[in-house]
């Protein structure tokens, strides 16, 4: 199983736990990731708010570089990177004038054979359920999780395709059930966490995160699972500011947040203690209480 690979800028910075657990998961499943040569930042999440052409040209160059690999599917772990890449691919495919402009500027010919795919899509849809279950050595019994997709992963469907429902996605729910955990239904799967407002309008992000965590508690979950570094930074990191400004309120109950790759690696028996220790809300007490670590 060979895929092109666009790591993006966060796997070696704010999302190292995503990168580490992804490597463990891919190793367990026999996935070989071939990194795109000389890739550049895709421009997320600022370029599209500054210059429309630049916002498309940056991911277009990555697609041009990806063509050199001769592989059809490009695995992209970051949701923001994935959104920029599918947006550029859509523009190249449907806008002849833009395609010609980019081909001239970047010195390549768009072949339309490279398919940007989010890592979650690959993990869930390129392996049979029996194959995934067969890798489980540590069933995640007792873990009750709500799946959080955020607002970009499966939307808009005309760009992302229809590998999952844009309003009521089920991919992560199916995966966590295969791992032995309970997928708890809730109504906030595709709500926004505030995304890049975390720096200039942290008050907005804290409010949105507070609403998400309260809803997860009300649904009966003991953890949240997601597949987006930006969502992870917000929902995991901003929980500490719930309640009154700068400090948690008296009813504050932290909710651990996992990457889907962390749950996969955990269920596959991989050592995750150092990875989990990087979380703002430490999930290890929960896992120890369930005898999962």
The CATH number for 30's domain is: 1.20.1050.140
Q: Is residue 129 domain-resident? A: no
Within this chain, do residues 102 and 220 fall inside the same structural domain, yes or no?
Answer: no
Q: Considering the domain boundaries, does residue 128 fall inside one?
A: no
Res 235: pLDDT: 96
- Low-confidence winner among 6-20, 137-151, 196-210, 269-283 (lowest mean pLDDT): 196-210
**Position 249 pLDDT exceeds 70:** no
> 17, 281 in Cβ contact below 8 A?
no
pLDDT attached to residue 12: 86
Query: Do 7 and 83 share a structural domain?
Result: yes
To the nearest 10°, the Cα dihedral for 182, 169, 118, 200?
-100
Whether residues 169 and 219 fall in one domain: yes
The answer to whether residue 268 sits within a structural domain is yes
Query: What is the helix, strand, coil percentage profile of the chain, to 5?
Result: 45, 10, 45
Query: Is 215 a residue whose pLDDT tops 50?
Result: yes
Q: Is residue 141 located within the same domain as residue 283?
A: yes
130 inside domain: no
pLDDT at residue 30 is higher than 80 = yes
Q: Helix (H, G, I), strand (E, B), or coil: what is residue 142?
A: coil
The per-residue pLDDT for 247 is 54
Tell me whether residue 218 is in a domain.
yes
pLDDT at 147 over 90: yes
Write out pLDDT tens, residues 96-115.
999 999 999 999 999 999 99
Task: Give the least confident one: 150-159, 194-203, 257-266.
Answer: 194-203
How much of the chain exceeds pLDDT 70, in percent? 97
Same domain, 68 and 94: yes
Domain annotation covers residue 127: no
Neighbours of 199 (CB within 10 A): 7
Average pLDDT rounded to a whole number, residues 42-62: 89
Are residue 276 and residue 147 in the same domain, yes or no? yes
CATH of the domain at 224: 3.40.50.11810
Of 120, 145, 180, at which residue does a domain stop?
120
Q: What is the pLDDT of residue 244?
A: 47
- Please say which residue of 120, 145, 168 terminates a domain: 120
Asked whether 101 and 109 are in contact (CB, 8 A), the reply is: no
Relative orientation angle of helices 79-94 and 96-106, to the nearest 10 degrees: 110
CA distance linking residue 133 with residue 5, whole number of Å: 25
pLDDT value at residue 246? 53
Whether 153 and 272 share a structural domain: yes
- Residue 131, in any domain of the structure: no
CA pair distance 247, 68, nearest whole angstrom: 50
Tell me: do 223 and 84 sit in the same domain: no
The range of the structural domain enclosing residue 31 comes to: 2-120
Cβ 3 vs Cβ 33: under 8 Å: yes
Identify whether 227 is part of a domain: yes
Mean pLDDT value across residues 50-57: 91
Judged by average pLDDT, the poorest of 12-16, 68-72, 86-90, 131-135 is 12-16
The pLDDT assigned to 245 comes to 52
Helices (H) and strands (E) in the chain, counts: 14, 8
How many domains, in total, are found in the chain?
Answer: 2
Q: Tell me, yes or no, whether 162 and 203 share the same domain.
A: yes
**CA 175, CA 95: separation in Å to the nearest integer?**
36
For 121, the token pair is: 């899509």
pLDDT, residue 116, reads: 97
Q: Which pTM does this prediction carry? A: 0.95
One domain, residues 63 and 91: yes
């Amino acid at each position: 199983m060979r895929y092109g690979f666009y790591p993006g800028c966060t796997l070696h910075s704010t999302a190292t736990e995503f990168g580490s657990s992804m490597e463990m998961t891919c190793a367990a499943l026999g996935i070989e990731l071939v990194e795109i040569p000389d890739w550049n930042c895709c421009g997320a999440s600022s370029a599209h708010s500054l210059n429309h052409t630049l916002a498309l040209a940056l991911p277009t160059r990555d697609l041009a570089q990806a063509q050199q690999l001769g592989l059809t599917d490009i695995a992209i772990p970051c949701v923001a990177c994935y959104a920029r890449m599918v947006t550029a691919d859509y523009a190249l495919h449907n806008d002849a004038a833009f395609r010609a402009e980019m081909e001239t500027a970047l010195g390549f010919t768009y072949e339309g054979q490279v398919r940007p795919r989010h890592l979650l899509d690959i993990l869930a849809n390129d392996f049979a359920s029996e194959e995934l279950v067969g890798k489980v050595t540590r069933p995640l019994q007792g873990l009750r999780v709500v799946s959080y997709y955020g607002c970009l992963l499966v939307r808009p469907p005309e760009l992302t395709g229809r590998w999952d429902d844009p309003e009521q996605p089920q991919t992560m729910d199916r995966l966590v059930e295969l791992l032995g955990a309970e997928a708890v239904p809730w109504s906030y799967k595709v709500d926004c966490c505030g995304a890049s407002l975390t720096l200039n309008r942290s008050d907005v992000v804290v409010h949105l995160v507070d609403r998400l965590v309260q809803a997860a508690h009300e649904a009966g979950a003991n953890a949240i699972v997601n597949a987006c570094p930006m969502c992870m930074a917000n929902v995991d990191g901003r929980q500490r500011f719930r309640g009154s400004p700068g400090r948690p309120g008296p009813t504050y109950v932290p909710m651990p947040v996992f990457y889907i790759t962390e749950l996969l690696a955990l269920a596959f028996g991989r050592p995750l203690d150092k990875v989990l220790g990087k979380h703002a809300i430490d999930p290890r007490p929960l896992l120890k209480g369930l005898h999962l670590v």
